[in-house]
Amino acid sequence: MTEALNPRYKPPSRDSLSNHLIPAWYEVDKANLISMLSGISNMAITADGWTSVCQDHYLTITLHYVRQGKIEGKVLCTKAVYQAQTGINVAEEIEEILQEYRVREKVVAATVDNASNMAVALRTLAIVRIGCFAHTLNLAAQKIIKCQSISNWAARVRSVIVWMKSVSMAKVVLKEKQKLLNLPQHMMILDVKTRWNSSYLMIKRFYEQFPAIEAAVMDPRLRKQSDKEKLVENLQTEDMRRAEEFLHLMGVLYTSTLCISSERSPTWSNFANFKENEEVQIFLEEATVMDPRFKMKIESDAIWERLRTAAVVMAITEEQEQEEAQTLEEEEDQEEVEEEDYSPPAKHRKTALEELFEEEDHSTVPKQARRTIREQVDLEVQIYSSLPAIPMSGDPVLWWWEKSGSLPLLSALAEKYLCVQASSTPSERVFSTAGDTISLERSRILPEKADMLVFLHKNC
C-alpha cells in the first residue's frame, strides 16, 4: 500500500527504527517533559515493582501534578533493577530517578502499597508515605470472600458458569432465553482469584441473568439428563437471595475502589477519618479541608491554623525564589551590557499637559496600603471558609483554578494536596502496558528499549 501511495518512499528499517528513531524521539520528549516540570511547584508520585515474563524486576514511578485546572500524570520511567529490593536500595533508585527529572524537592507525597521496603524507602527519603487504599480494600474484600459460607456458595455459582462456558451450545441457548425473558444479552463472567472485583462482577452478572441461566439449564439441548439435574440442584432460589445480599455488601467496596482509582480527579481528600500515623493523618485532614466538596466535614481551628501557616511559608518561599531569579537575571543583563557599548536609555519627556496638571495627578492617585502575606492569607481563609461547599459532581481542581484570581495563595496551596493519589493504580496500569510490550513473543527486548516504549506510549 505504501508503495502504491508513494513509490519513492522507503520506510525505515527495523535497525533504524529501534536504534535511532525511537531513542531520538524518547530523548526529545524526555527533555520537553523536564522543561515543562520546571514550572510545576508541587507534585506527588506513585511507585511499585513488577516482574516481567523474562523474570526481570522493574520499578515504575508515575508523577502527578495540577496544571491549568487539571490533574495530569506522566510516567517517569519503568526501570529494570538488578539488586535486592531492600528499603535502602529502593530509596536510592527513587532518588536517582527524581533527581534525573529535577523534581526531587517538589515531591510532597508518594502513594505505594503496604510493602515494608517501600515504607523504609520513603522514610529514608523523608517523603510522606500514603498507603494504597485500593490495596487495603482488596485485603478486606478477600477476607469476606474467603469466609467458608460465601466461598462454598460462590463455588457453586462458579461451577455453573464454567459448565456453560465449556458447552458450545450453551451460548446459543442462553441468548434465546435472554430474548424470551427480555434480559440484556450479556455473556457470563468468570472470576480471577487474584482480583476480588472479578468475583463481584461474576456474581453481579449471575444475579442479572439468573432467570435466563435457570431456563437454559433446563433446556434439553444442552447435556445429558443426569448432568442437567445436578446443575439444577446447584441452582436454587436461595442463591438469588444470597447474591442480592452479597452485591449489597460488596457494592460499597467496589464503588469505592473505582472512585479512588481515578487519575484525573482528586481521590485522597475525603479520607480525613481514615486512621493512619500522625504525619499522614495531619496531611489527610488538611487535604480534606482544601477540597471544596468536603471542607464542611471537618470543623477544627487547629487545621485552619496549620493551613494558614503552610500558605504563609509557601508564599514567602515563592517570593524569595522570584527575588533570587530576578537578581540573577539582572546580573546576567548587567554582564551583557558591560560587554557591549552602553548607551543610557532616553528619559521620558513630559508633555505640556502633563507638566500643567502634574500636582493634580499626584493628589488624585489613590494610595493603597499593601497587605502583608499573613493578612492576605487570613483574608483568603475567611472568604474560602464562608463559601458554600460544591456538589460531589463538581471538579475541585477546576474550582480552584477559577478562584486563583481572588484566592491566589490558597489556590497555590491546594495544588499541593489535590495532586496526591489515593491508590497506586497508575503504576499498575503502567505494568499492563509493560506486559503488552514485554510479551512472550518479544521476550528478548532489552529493558532500556522497553522503558523507552512504555514512556512514549503513556506520555505521548
Whether this model's pTM surpasses 0.85: no
pLDDT at residue 336, as a whole number: 65
Contact in structure between 458 and 32 (CB atoms under 8 Å): no
CA distances from 422 to 45, 191, 230, 270, 414 (A): 11, 25, 46, 10, 16
The overall average pLDDT reported for the chain is: 86
Tell me the mean pLDDT in the region 388-416.
92
Q: Is the pLDDT of residue 357 over 90?
A: no
What pLDDT digit, counting tens, does each position of 258-307 carry?
888 888 888 766 665 566 678 888 888 899 999 999 988 888 889 999 99
Contact in structure between 277 and 302 (CB atoms under 8 Å): no
Q: Which domains does the chain have, with CATH numbers?
A: 2-132+424-459 (3.30.420), 139-260 (no CATH), 269-321+372-419 (no CATH)
Q: Is the pLDDT of residue 121 over 90?
A: yes
pLDDT at residue 225, as a whole number: 47
How many other C-beta atoms lie within 10 A of the C-beta of residue 453?
21
What pLDDT digit, counting tens, does each position of 185-241 carry?
999 999 887 778 888 999 999 999 988 988 888 888 876 544 555 565 566 667 778
**DSSP class of 287:** H
pLDDT at residue 362, as a whole number: 60
pLDDT at residue 278, as a whole number: 82
Q: Which residue has the higher pLDDT, 308 or 269?
A: 308
Tell me the mean pLDDT in the region 109-119.
92
Query: What are the beta bridge partners of residue 59?
Result: 49, 79
Using CB atoms within 10 Å of the CB of residue 120, give its burial: 0 to 12 exposed, 13 to 18 middle, 19+ buried: middle
CA distances from 125 to 65, 94, 109, 213, 369 (A): 19, 9, 11, 55, 43
Q: Is the pLDDT of residue 337 over 70?
A: no
What pLDDT digit, counting tens, does each position of 37-87 carry?
999 999 999 999 999 988 899 999 999 999 999 999 999 999 999 999 999
pLDDT at residue 226, as a whole number: 45
